[in-house]
Chains A and B, each alone.
Chain A
């Protein structure tokens, strides 16, 4: 039986142990609280880097059209564009410093992203009573000046034309989350494609189960190959922004918020220390296997006659953006998935054996080449915004 002294001692020991444990718990809570602050868990979209999504309708004239253009889809959210703006014309240039070299060795994705911006630019100009006329590669070369958009004055009868596609610009986001079980009908898919004014580009839908499975396999294998290619992995990771300071400083790149995770998983991902490149790669491959391909309801592939032609790529980019805006206006989710073409271009640029071209080509109509691919489905949750540089950072 314990003596009063030993009982007291035990009680004191217990009290000290509990106080010590509580201290450790509070210190840990302090660290987690800092992560809540640092990764903006409680205010993910309310700061400067996301302002372009709420202010894009406000500016009039050509700069307003640029405000719409900078919200376009683009590779790894590098925003590879600059604009030279006058009252009569907007010139669109590629920004070579923003090319993800190993992932886009032939400039395919840069051109597609610029084409996406061009489509938004046209819609933004029309909504402001302007009559845009697009000239691709105005000086006839691929030196970075990719388009010139002449801004006439729209006839008074036509006036400003704010179309459904224009209205969808601020709601369009790449949805990397799971998609719902409901199938997409052929009629819905056909509604998403309008190639008017965009010669030489088409969308090929992959909806049948065997072809879907083949495409999913290619997607997973390509994602794995990208992560196993050290240079591609490193070049992609450079554009990952792990915390709010980085997001606000760069206003570009990929973020945790954009990965389509559930709210609880997203919070946990933000609370734990920033992931390493290899951990991020593993997460992406797992998501590709278990979420992206597993819940896709259809794959779309932009097909062209010559995927190496810059003008065709720009036009394909315009179609890709138009499909995404139409999907948004119809409540259909979409995610750009270009790892297969990234591997095809990488193999071509390094002289390696092409692992993917023939297998992807087998899923496409004869005589066409794949330019870009994506998946569609019904959204489970609202896709989150991506950071954007302001108009005055990209327009002169």
Chain B
């Protein structure tokens, strides 16, 4: 990948994220008045706010990559964030995402390292990535819950994401966060069954995640 290509990708990603923020604002303010464009959502305000937040995440990730993420792991993680945001927002703002979404995907594609580098990262970081994904699952479930499970699930999802990133450097804190991120949500939201599944999967992934921290150099 040439530097020029990477720069073009960076510009496209940041432009897409900026447009994403704009579409989030449009969805929040005018979403109910332009249903054919905004996806005829029942709750345009929260979805608009969510789109703004996700676009800001994508923008932050794009800026981190632009400034030169010094580790392939970090670079791949940031670009993966951009791709996830680009895909998720197709469901939050309808046709309004037809410009920002492809821009984000194209920009991320132009900045992606070689397949070999990506594969190396995926192999070495698969377990923490899976725990992060489970944290995202918990956040998604919490987003549609009543206040108590919403708060517990929101904090729990954040704890799982944080715990996964701290596994290598702070294994004890990681273990505590995995526990705190799953058990309370499983207790308050057990009727949905899936929180129990998240608990089981995190418990299964905890051993290799923490073992990895003990065997891999920091």
Contacts and interface: CB of A to CB of B under 8 A. Distances in A.
Do chains A and B stick together as partners? yes
Interface of A: 15, 18-19, 22-23, 25-26, 29-30, 32-34, 36-38, 40-43, 46-48, 244-245, 248-249, 263-264, 267-268, 271
A344 to B, nearest CB: 38
Interface in B127-148: 127, 130, 133-134, 136-138, 140-146
Contact of B130 (A26, A32, A46, A48): A26
Given A245-B42, A263-B191, A267-B191, A23 B130 contact: yes
Given A19-B126, A29-B197, A248-B43, A42 B133 contact: no
Interface of B: 40-43, 126-127, 130, 133-134, 136-138, 140-146, 149-150, 189, 191-194, 197-198, 201, 204-205, 208
B191 A40 contact: no
B145 A249 contact: no
A47 B192 CA distance: 18
A245 B40 CA distance: 10
Given A26-B201, A29-B134, A32-B197, A48 B144 contact: no
Closest 5 CB pairs of A and B: A248-B42, A42-B145, A33-B137, A37-B144, A41-B192
16 contacts: A22-B127, A30-B136, A30-B137, A33-B137, A33-B138, A33-B194, A36-B140, A36-B194, A37-B144, A41-B191, A42-B146, A42-B150, A42-B192, A245-B41, A267-B192, A268-B193
A37 B140 contact: yes
B189 A42 contact: yes
Nearest to A25: B201
A314 to B, nearest CB: 34
Contacts of A244: 42, 144
A37 B204 CA distance: 24
A268 B191 CA distance: 10
Contact of B193 (A18, A25, A43, A264): A264
Contact of B205 (A22, A30, A38, A268): A22
Given A15-B208, A29-B201, A30-B140, 17 more contacts: A22-B130, A26-B134, A26-B137, A30-B133, A30-B137, A33-B140, A33-B141, A33-B194, A36-B141, A36-B192, A37-B141, A40-B144, A42-B146, A43-B146, A244-B144, A249-B40, A267-B192
B42 A32 contact: no
A271 B201 CA distance: 18
A19 B125 CA distance: 11
Nearest to A28: B197
A392 to B, nearest CB: 14
B191 A23 contact: no
Contacts of B127: 19, 22
B46 to A, nearest CB: 11
Contacts of A271: 193-194
Contacts of A15: 208
Contacts of A29: 134, 137, 194, 197-198, 201
A33 B153 CA distance: 12
Contacts of B143: 37
A264 B189 CA distance: 12
B209 to A, nearest CB: 11
A51 to B, nearest CB: 12
Contacts of B140: 30, 33-34, 36-37
Contacts of A267: 191-193
B145 to A, nearest CB: 4
A43 B189 CA distance: 10
